[in-house]
Structure 1
Amino acid sequence: MNIYGSTISMLEKGLDYSSTKGKMIAQNIANIDTPNYRAKTVSFNEVLKNAQSEPIHAYRTNERHINFSTKVYQPGVSKLSTLKYRQDGNGVDMDKEQADLAANQIYYNALVDRINSKFNSLQNVIKGGR
Structure 2
Amino acid sequence: MSSREINFAYKVRHALNERIDNMPTETVDRLAAARQIALSRKKKDAPLRILARQNVVAGTANNLFQNPFSWLTRLSVAAPILAGIVLFFGLYQYEQQHRITEIAALDAAVLADEVPPSAYLDRGFDTYLAKHEE
TM normalised by structure 2 equals 0.30
If you compute each CA radius of gyration, which structure gives the higher value, 1 or 2? Answer: 2
Q: Which has the higher contact order (CA 8 A, sep 6+)?
A: 1
**Bigger fraction of residues in helix:** 2
